[in-house]
Amino acid sequence: MGTKNYALLQVSCNIHKPSITPMKLDNLRALLSSSSSSQVKPLSKELERITTLVKHVPTMIKKTCVGVLEAFVDSTFEFVDQPLLPSQIGEAVGVTTIEGKIPEDFPIGVYVRNGPNPLFGGLKSTKSMFGKSSHVWIEGEGMLHGLYLVKDRRTAAWNISYKNKHVQTDTFNLEKVRKKPGFLPAIEGDSLAVVLAYLLNMLRFGEVNKYLSNTNVFEHSNKYYSIAENHLPQEIDIFSLETLRNWNLNGSWDRPFTSHPKKAPGTGELVVMGIEPKKPYFMLGIISADGKKIMHKADLRFNRCSLCHEIGVTQRYNVIMDFPLTLNIMRLIRGGPLIKYEKEGYARIGVMPRYGDADSIRWFEVEPCCVFHVINSFEHNDEVVVIALRACKSAIPGPDFGLDKFEWFSKGFQHTKDHIDENCDKFSTDDESFLCRVCEWRLNMHTGEVKQRILTGTDFSMEFPMINHNFVGVRNKFGYTQVVDSQASSISGIAKYGGLAKLNFEHWRFETSMDEKESQDLMKVEYHMLPNNTFCSGATFVPRIGGVDEDDGWIIMFVHNENTNISQVYIVDAKKFSSEAVAVISLPSRVPYGFHGAFMSLDC
């Protein structure tokens, strides 16, 4: 697009750029002392004593201590790369290779996708006398990939450019200055090695782990943010992709922040949550529509730290997902994993008045399962309806440490109808599957009854859902997901998405199994499948400006062809979903697979 077009967009949309401000840092002592255990108290007290001493020693002594710690880490811990496809980093480059035609009424804007792209080669593992520790597959510094679509209002010609840039969090900048890895991986591994990684990271950098900001991007009050749920969001200049500051609401929000905040229907307020493996485990917040202050904050008094990835909203309620994927520091210190899916644990969905508290939540017990993403939630008569993607097993963090990761992931992606029953509750073999199916829970606010039904079959596993954002929190007819290519995923050991699905919640089909013993009503699903060995990420729905129907718009997504090693952007007409893409835009460099994307309309 070039400097001229960036300047034109900045002037016409009048985007404000606030100054960079420091953020409040967490404390390891609080992380470890949140739970009472006679086995852990001595260690917790010793850590408290050490960190207190470090804070109060004179500067010269502190520098000497840090130097000694640095020398100890350098001589004791060996960093080892895990394989990862890199991305070429660069400034904006014009794009001219387009198959098809970008629709005339496609909105002017920026399509941005977030994803992990480690600063120093691949993800890191460490080896030491204390054991091994490693990053898990969802880690890696965040990188934003932006496709800019600008239309010349005089000639109606499209000017398109692509650029990418790392999200420059506090810890990213710290390691970049060092010019080498510094933070020891502290998520999975031998218990002693992980605990020491937390302690050494805290003593050397004042942080227990890196702030990755690699999961999602969102807009609120005409400002744009990058986020991963282990930290605060970073405000981004959407035109340059420069990182501006941490967004902590003037110090009123000092904890992690969900990767999927939701705008409340009607008010434009932003409903957020923050989870931590210390009390309070779950905090809910409501941010004003202008993004300037916290309107409400409540400790929901969880008795465990559930790895809740998403929150739901309706016109009157907040919807809380409390499922048995947990983070537990005490479990780690006792020799277990930090993150674990407890398939025998409880699962529940909470319905909470918008400005409610822990005492006002109505909890509904549901069958244990794994849910990362909510498609939508809304009110219908006496019920709150929650539609989400449900699996029997969590792909996060991965297998127990020491198991063959490739084999574990490959088995999980090889789902068939023989592996799993129709309710996705019990496995008919020892092989467990990551099969994600669309599930609906209807929660009756008067009787307390829960009705659950599975809405899709077992032909495809689906993830990374999206809807027309104008229907968040209200009854919707359509949803969209990325579709897992189980064969390619089982070969590579990571999830690869070979197409899209369009879900129609108002049209149903009656399906009978091959042995004619079971039958069920399933929703109508249309598919848009990609060419062989071609996979997508970051798909999102772009509404047509002035559109009347809910599906009046397009799906836009980053795509990579592994046969040609060419990355592209596809634009698919949502009303002609199974047809070929209306436009295919070839990009100048490889775009690695990533997580969530968003389209930021800049029609002013």
The structure tokens 């020892």 sit at 430
Contact 168, 243 (CB under 8 A): yes
Task: Provide the β-strand partners of residue 216.
Answer: 227
Burial annotation 118-134 (CB, 10 A radius, 16+ → b, else e): bbbeebbbbbbebebbb
CB atoms within 10 A of CB 586: 17
Distance CA 350, CA 360 (A): 10
Distance CA 540, CA 536 (A): 11
Contact 485, 559 (CB under 8 A): no
Cis peptide before 465 (omega within 30 of 0): no
**Nearest CA to 278 among 220, 208, 344?**
208
Residue 490: what residue type? Answer: S
Number of H helices, E strands in the chain: 9, 37
**Which tokens belong to 274?**
């923050």
- For 31, phi and psi rounded to 5 degrees? -65, -40
Distance CA 82, CA 134 (A): 9
- For 378, phi and psi rounded to 5 degrees? -160, 170
Q: Nearest 5°: CA angle at 587, between 586 and 590?
A: 125
CB atoms within 10 A of CB 351: 24
260 is in an annotated binding site: yes
Task: Provide the β-strand partners of residue 126.
Answer: 79, 133
CA dihedral angle for residue 54, residue 55, residue 58, residue 63, rounded to 10 degrees: 60
Pairing of strands 347-353, 317-322: antiparallel
Q: What is the DSSP letter of 420?
A: B
Residue 583: what residue type? Answer: A
Distance CA 472, CA 593 (A): 26
Helices 59-76 and 191-205: crossing angle in degrees, nearest 10, is: 150
Distance CA 431, CA 420 (A): 9
Task: Provide the β-strand partners of residue 162.
Answer: 93, 147
Distance CA 573, CA 386 (A): 27
- For 368, phi and psi rounded to 5 degrees? -60, 135
**Which tokens belong to 542?**
């772009």
CA dihedral angle for residue 324, residue 325, residue 327, residue 328, rounded to 10 degrees: 40
Return binding residues for Fe cation.
260, 309, 373, 596
Return binding residues.
260, 309, 373, 596
